[in-house]
Structures are given as C-alpha cells and as structure tokens.
C-alpha cells in the first residue's frame, strides 16, 4: 500500500513539473503576473516566464517604466534563485539574482 502512495505522489509531482514547463502555462503565468502588476499600479512588465531545471525562476524582457519614455530598468533576462523553505512561512527568501543584458 505504501508503495502505491509513494508512486502516486511521484507521478503527481512529475506531472506538475511537466505541466509548469508547457509554453501555454508560461504565457498564462506571464499574463497573470502582468495583470497583477497593472492592478497594483506597479510600472513593471515582464515578457516571459520560465521555470528552470535547477528550480530557479527565469524572467525575460523585464522592464520598469514609470512613465512613457522614462525607463528605470530593462533586463533581457533575469534569473532568481529562491529558497523553497521560506514559502511555507509566506516569505520569499532570494538566494541569488542574475541579470543579463541590463540597461539602467
């Protein structure tokens, strides 16, 4: 019985990871994040989201533009390493941030 429970949990986690790496899911997460930013009045826009194999979160075409023509930050790609333990306590503990092709 324990063998079937472990197998079921493994299959569920595997399907969840596969589902999170589908392009349609990436587009949905990107559009949801951009709509949350707009609702809160934050001048942030992301062009793409990806969950990397090492567990990091990848964002592409990240822009902070408070008013038209005034770009504070543009990053071609941004990779964030988050400690998963903090999420259980409703905290986000960022271990590393890697920026590439940045314009300030």
Domains held by the chain: number: 1
- In angstroms, the CA 76 to CA 74 distance is 7
The answer to whether 2 and 26 have CB atoms below 8 angstroms apart is no
Which pLDDT belongs to residue 79?
A: 92
Which pLDDT belongs to residue 28?
A: 92
**Considering only CA atoms, which of 59, 5, 6 is closest in space to residue 30?**
59
Cα angle value 12/91/50 (rounded, 5°): 50
Backbone angles phi, psi at 52, to 5 degrees: -80, 160
- In angstroms, the CA 50 to CA 25 distance is 9
**Considering only CA atoms, which of 96, 102, 104, 95 is closest in space to residue 77?**
102
* Whether the predicted pLDDT of 13 surpasses 90: no
Determine the average pLDDT of the residues in 35-64: 90
pLDDT band with cut points at 50, 70 and 90 for residue 44: very high
Task: Give the range of the structural domain holding residue 97, as residue numbers without chain letter.
Answer: 2-103
**Considering only CA atoms, which of 53, 97, 91 is closest in space to residue 75?**
97
């Amino acid at each position: 019985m324990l063998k079937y429970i472990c197998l079921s949990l493994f299959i569920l986690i595997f399907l969840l990871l596969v589902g999170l790496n589908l392009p349609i899911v990436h587009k949905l997460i990107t559009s949801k994040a951009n709509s949350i930013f707009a609702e809160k009045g934050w001048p942030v826009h992301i062009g793409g989201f990806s969950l990397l194999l090492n567990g990091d979160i990848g964002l592409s075409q990240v822009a902070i533009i408070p008013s038209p023509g005034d770009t504070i930050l543009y990053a071609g790609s941004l990779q964030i390493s988050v400690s998963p333990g903090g999420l259980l306590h409703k905290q986000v503990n960022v271990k590393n941030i890697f920026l590439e092709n940045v314009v300030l």
